[in-house]
């Protein structure tokens, strides 16, 4: 069963291709590649981000408050209307990320967010999370604002499955045709070949990982895919 509730710290680092390759050489000595990365190839994660008409959630997030939250719909690859996807709330308080998600069919998810009517309970759903999402939907007047996808390679530590490291590249997005089933296409978010590395753990980083970051002079930085796209879209609008 997929994990549906997460409490962890997520630290981000932007890597160029040369640094990425050096990091991978070290990571593979300590970690196992995710089963979704068949033949060591990246898998695609596609998301719809929901927000208010005036973009309240992302504007609040960019102001860097102690607490922030968002709702997104996530699929692996391009789903069909009856495919199972994940509807999830992601919250962050003083650096600690809490993610709560439920499995749901794509058509059920669309209907839930668009109408505010809770779906009929099914065995594959997390009923408590559905109730929390229902509260979130009625708290905000939400609509699908952004399609955002990327290709991911992920690793987990052999001795400590709590530690995960992911590398996302080829980030693309669109603000039209915001439906997961309509295909994987969009405008590139970043120019050049970059990899967003995310270190996710509930505990302290192991010594080998701390040494790697120090030796390769890799600095932690704040980076939000949705936030970066939002600012890019605003700048594009102002330039017209």
CA distance readout (Å), 203 to 9, 33, 130, 161, 194:
8, 20, 28, 11, 27
Which are the contacts of 119, defined by CB distance < 8 A and separation ≥ 6?
104, 108, 111, 112, 125, 130
Q: What local confidence, expressed as pLDDT, does residue 183 receive?
A: 96
> What SS3 class is residue 215?
helix
Mean pLDDT, range 116-137, rounded to an integer: 96
User: For 100, what's the count of Cα atoms within 13 Å in the CB-facing half-sphere?
Assistant: 16
Angle at 35 between CA 81 and CA 172, to 5 degrees: 55
In tens, the pLDDT along 176-228 reads 999 999 999 999 999 889 999 999 999 889 999 999 999 999 999 999 999 99
Specify the higher pLDDT residue, 7 or 170.
170
From the options 3.20.100.30, 3.60.15.10, 3.30.70.1230, 3.40.50.2000, give the CATH code of 5-226: 3.20.100.30
Residues of the chain with pLDDT > 90, as a percent, come to: 88
> What SS3 class is residue 164?
strand
CA–CA dist 145, 175 (Å, integer): 6
Q: What local confidence, expressed as pLDDT, does residue 1 receive?
A: 42
CA distance readout (Å), 202 to 17, 56, 74, 97:
28, 29, 22, 9
- Whether the pLDDT of residue 27 is over 70: the answer is yes
- Whether the pLDDT of residue 3 is over 90: the answer is no
Specify the higher pLDDT residue, 53 or 158.
53
Mean pLDDT, range 63-73, rounded to an integer: 96
């Amino acid at each position: 069963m997929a994990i549906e509730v997460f409490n962890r710290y997520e630290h981000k680092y932007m890597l160029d291709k040369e640094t990425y390759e050096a990091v991978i050489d070290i990571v593979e000595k300590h970690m196992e590649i995710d089963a979704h990365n068949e033949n060591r190839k990246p898998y695609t994660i596609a998301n719809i981000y929901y927000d208010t008409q005036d973009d309240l959630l992302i504007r609040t997030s960019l102001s860097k408050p102690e607490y922030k939250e968002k709702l997104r719909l996530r699929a692996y690859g391009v789903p069909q209307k009856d495919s199972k996807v994940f509807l999830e709330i992601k919250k962050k308080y003083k650096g600690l990320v809490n993610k709560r998600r439920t499995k749901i069919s794509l058509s059920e998810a669309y209907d839930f967010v668009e109408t505010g009517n809770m779906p009929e309970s099914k065995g594959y759903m997390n009923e408590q999370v559905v109730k929390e999402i229902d509260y979130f939907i009625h708290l905000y007047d939400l609509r699908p604002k952004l399609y955002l996808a990327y290709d991911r390679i992920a690793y987990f530590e052999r001795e400590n499955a709590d530690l995960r490291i992911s590398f996302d590249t080829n980030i693309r997005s669109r603000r039209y045709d915001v439906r997961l089933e309509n295909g994987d296409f969009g405008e590139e978010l970043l120019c050049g070949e970059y990899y967003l590395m995310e270190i996710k753990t509930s505990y302290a980083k192991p010594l080998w990982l701390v040494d790697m970051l120090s030796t390769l002079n890799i600095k932690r930085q704040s980076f939000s895919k949705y936030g970066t796209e939002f600012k890019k879209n605003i700048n594009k609008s102002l330039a017209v």
